[in-house]
Homo-oligomer: A and B are copies of this chain.
Amino acid sequence: MLLALVTISLDGYMAGPDITKDVPMGVNGSRLHEWILDPTPADREFIADTFAAVGAVVLGRRTFDVGLDQWKDTPYPAPSFVVTHRAHEPLQMSSASFTFVPDLDEAVTQARAAAGDKDVILMGADLTQQALTSGLIDEFRLQLAPITLGSGTRLFTGTERHTFEPLGAQQTPRVTHLRYRTTATATPSPPDQRNRVPR
């Protein structure tokens, strides 16, 4: 199952502005992850269950570039597939290896094969939006943080309409865990840039 697993603010940001290697979540973006840094028992259980089920990861090149110094390993202890046009030899880390793949479809295919019956986790805003538009995502697991960030990178930037099937909601004092199954009801909107978020 291909999962988009991401924490977003109430105003829809999954990272703050001005992302760099030193500030990979962007300015103030680490506030999104307070539920991970200071988890309640329910959050801790969610994290443990999620990690145990991860069989592979698909991530964008930019996520790889800004995240590697912090992870000093693969982001999860599982084979990780980086979508990038720049060819690169596989990179063996302590838990698993990074493999560099030229397009999203191919990365997802390789990741699904590597994961077996475990989950594939998708990382990165652009890649998540692309995968949603392409109908590749099976489930969203959103952690809705009880904050607004006011600026940064939004998770949902597409102009098409989707309908999801709610699978559960659990609120802890830190975050609200939301699960949605994607359904085959995406309806392309006519091109309309008026309300488009600048990127």
Q: Which residues of A contact B (CB under 8 A)?
A: 10-12, 17, 28, 31, 142, 144, 146-156, 158-166, 168-173, 175-176, 178, 180, 189, 192, 194-198
| Copy count, this protein chain | 2
13 new A-B contacts at CB < 8 Å, known A148-B160, A168-B171: A10-B156, A17-B195, A31-B161, A144-B144, A146-B164, A147-B162, A150-B189, A151-B196, A152-B195, A153-B195, A166-B171, A166-B173, A166-B176
A168 to chain B: which residues have CB within 8 Å?
171
- Cβ contact within 8 Å between B162 and A148: yes
Q: What separation, in Å, do the CA atoms of A84 and B167 have in the docked complex?
A: 42
Residue of B nearest to A173 (CB): B166
Question: Out of B12, B146, B162, B165, which one reaches A180, CB within 8 Å?
Answer: B146
Q: What separation, in Å, do the CA atoms of A152 and B192 have in the docked complex?
A: 10
- Cβ contact within 8 Å between A161 and B149: yes
A158 to chain B: which residues have CB within 8 Å?
11, 148, 150
Residue of B nearest to A12 (CB): B12
Q: What separation, in Å, do the CA atoms of A83 and B83 have in the docked complex?
A: 50
**Cβ of A130 to closest chain B Cβ, rounded Å:** 14
- Cβ contact within 8 Å between A164 and B176: no
A165 to chain B: which residues have CB within 8 Å?
146
- Cβ contact within 8 Å between A11 and B10: no
Given contacts A161-B28, A163-B147, A166-B146, contact A194 B198 (CB under 8 A): yes
Residue of B nearest to A180 (CB): B146
Q: What separation, in Å, do the CA atoms of A180 and B166 have in the docked complex?
A: 20
A180 to chain B: which residues have CB within 8 Å?
10, 146
- Cβ contact within 8 Å between A150 and B159: yes
Residue of B nearest to A159 (CB): B150
